[in-house]
Amino acid sequence: MRWKPHVRFGGRAGETDLSRGRHRAPVRSHHANAKLDEARRRVQNETLGHRGRKSDPLYRIRRLLTKADERLEEHGRERLVGLLRAGDPRGEVATTWQAKEAVRELYAHADETTRIEHLIIDMADRDQPIEVRSLGRTLARWKDQIVAWHRSHVSNGPTEAANNLIKRVKRAAFGFTSFRNFRVRALLYAGKPNWSLLETIAPV
């Protein structure tokens, strides 16, 4: 298995800020975290026969599991490993955690095409937990978009942000009867006007 637990890339995905050198991924990390949580709940039910309780090993580390590997302190890592050993007898949750970290590391890898192909092949193995295989199918569907992000380091994040601001204007006004007024309000709110130039404009 070619997964590595150490990850250099972190943060939420969906936005790109080239001016500050922050590049964000086109597929949000919550996809991998959601599969990890599914694996934790499934193993919890299979081993103990009930939903998570505060004294159960896997329930006690539910937040640590979704935390980025490089943000784990030594005490947190020891607690994570110990409780996984206690509540994950077949190692399925641990394997899904490694898969989650491998997906995050994917965005720090230089050879993006080869890396994602290897990752998809590894995750498709029938010996993997069902949540890992599902995550692998998601990666296969988004392969072209992930590779494109590696090559361009841009996303539709700014467009989505502007669209959200425009919808805020529309909701606040309960709709506009005049498209002209709606356009002006949207430009003023989402267009980042330079108000210092306002006094230089002569009224018509």
Distances (CA, A) of 74 to 7, 77, 166: 16, 5, 45
pTM above 0.85, yes or no: no
Phi, psi dihedral angles at 17 (to 5 degrees): -130, 90
Tokens of 191: 């267009």
CB-side exposure of 103: number of CA atoms within 13 Å? 36
What are the 10-residue block averages of pLDDT along the chain, 204 residues in total? Answer: 36 37 51 93 95 94 92 94 95 95 80 82 94 94 85 82 89 80 86 80 72
Residue 94 to residue 83: CA distance in whole angstroms: 10
Query: Residue 198's CB: how many other CB atoms inside 10 A?
Result: 8
pLDDT for res 12: 37
Please state the length of the chain: 204
pLDDT for res 157: 82
Element (DSSP H or E) covering residue 22: strand 22-23
